[in-house]
Amino acid sequence: MNLAEVIGTIWATKKDPNMEGLKMQLIQPITTKHKKTGEPLIAVDTVGAGSGEIVFYVTAYEAVIPLQNQPALVDASIVGIVDRIEDTA
């Protein structure tokens, strides 16, 4: 899993029916030192993260799991909001 900051939202009325009702957040991947790394991406949010919060997210196949009643057309999903990072490096 990787860290990201929630930086926005995306709207799409014309989309695959299986995506109806899913909240999509725009997230900026960050390092453990809170530096940006790479471009923002769109992730489904199932934990209720708000703008500015630090989250961790999964990509690829696992991203479909939180959305159990609907086979989801997603490849990125926020799965937790970070309380604290202990980086001893």
Question: 24 vs 33, 55, 86, 87, CA distance in Å?
Answer: 25, 14, 29, 29
Options 4, 21, 23, 32; binder of a copy of itself; rule CB under 8 A: 32
Residue 61: phi and psi, rounded to 5, are: -50, -45
Q: Total residues contacting a copy of itself (rule CB under 8 A)?
A: 60
Query: Contact between 39 and a copy of itself (CB under 8 A)?
Result: yes
In the complex, least distance from residue 87 CB atom to a copy of itself, rounded to whole angstroms:
4
Q: Is 69 in the site for a copy of itself (CB under 8 A)?
A: no
Q: Please give the Cα distance from 73 to 81 (Å, whole number).
A: 22
67 binds a copy of itself (CB under 8 A): no
Angstrom CA distances, 4 to 16, 21, 68, stand at: 26, 23, 24
Q: How far is the CB of 48 from a copy of itself (least distance, A)?
A: 8
Radius of gyration of the chain (CA): 13
Point out which residues bind a copy of itself (CB under 8 A).
1-3, 5, 7-16, 18-19, 24, 26, 28, 31-32, 37, 39-43, 46-48, 51-52, 56, 58-66, 71-77, 79-89
